Amino acid sequence: MKLSLNPGVSCVHHLSVPVVFFSALFCSTAAFAAHPLITDDAGTMGKGNAQMEFNGEYGHEKEEGVTTKTTEGSVALTYGATDTVDLVIGIPYQHIRVKEEENTMSENGFSDTSLEVKWRFYEHDDYHLAIKPGISLPTGDDDKGLGTGKATYSLYFISSKEMDQLAFHLNLGYLRNENTQDEEKNIWHASIASSFALTEKLTAVANLGVETNTDKLAGTDPAFFLAGLVYALTDDFDIDCGVKYGLNDPETDYSVLAGVTWKF
């Protein structure tokens, strides 16, 4: 989201604008699941198939007189290397604005690039299992708070179950968050998601998750709930939208998400 861009990772705000600002820059999302979901599914593209995703997110947080507005855009390319293995590259861009009374700070730029491999290693009827190792390259400017300054590593376990119009997904993951900002290095992630086909083209989705707080001094891990819709304009072209709410103080108050997916 994350690698300093992690799904569900949010920041604890302080009264000082500079502290809030640089803390907020590390609170984006770099996971590229079936947007707008944070939780990934165990499905793969199939050999020779590909998809391009263009996703956007606006986050709003207000606490103790400090307002943080986060705008993020990302591009993700997924390619089916085999029927059961996908290769994924993601490139995020951030703009974050933090305001306290008359003081305002902002920063924008490309963040760290993510490279992932998803391997669907088991399937029986409508039940699927996959693992997804990944690495984040320090392409963002860590002096500006736009990256970790170091390569990070992750591994996710993914489980999916499909039942007619309904599907469920579970993600359990670990991220080795190497960084130059004295953040927590061991990040654990757990989330569940479901989707329900309302019509042949329209699908409703929901998502619930929690992840280790990157702030070493924080006593609470950020948790979120997300709800959204996915509409298939054609067999190869989807649009989606969603709203993500913070379930506790460390998570961003709310975020609005939208995306476009093109399969080819």
Q: Which of 33, 1, 28, 10 is nearest to 223 (CA)?
A: 10
Please, are residues 96 and 25 in contact by the beta-carbon 8 Å criterion? yes
pLDDT computed for residue 100 by the predictor: 86
pLDDT computed for residue 256 by the predictor: 98
Neighbours of 143 (CB within 10 A): 9
pLDDT (mean) for 198-213: 97
Name the DSSP letter for residue 245: E
* Chain centre to alpha carbon of residue 150: 19
pLDDT computed for residue 60 by the predictor: 95
pLDDT (mean) for 173-193: 96
Whether residue 73 is predicted with pLDDT greater than 80 in this model: the reply is: yes
Whether residue 4 is predicted with pLDDT greater than 90 in this model: the reply is: no
pLDDT computed for residue 101 by the predictor: 82
pLDDT computed for residue 143 by the predictor: 85
Distance, CA of 53 to CA of 30 (rounded, Å): 13
**pLDDT tier at 173, thresholds 50, 70, 90:** very high
CB-based burial label for 163 (10 Å; 0-12, 13-18, 19+): exposed
Q: Which residues contact 219 (CB under 8 A, 6 or more apart)?
A: none
pLDDT computed for residue 19 by the predictor: 52
Token pair in block for residue 176: 């080795």
Neighbours of 145 (CB within 10 A): 22
Tens-digit pLDDT profile for residues 130-162: 999 999 999 998 888 788 999 999 999 999 999
pLDDT computed for residue 32 by the predictor: 53
Q: Which residues contact 130 (CB under 8 A, 6 or more apart)?
A: 42, 44, 118, 119, 120, 121, 157, 158, 159, 160
pLDDT (mean) for 115-130: 97
User: Mind listing the domains of the chain with CATH numbers?
Assistant: 17-263 (2.40.128.130)
In the block, residue with structure tokens 């103080």 = 249
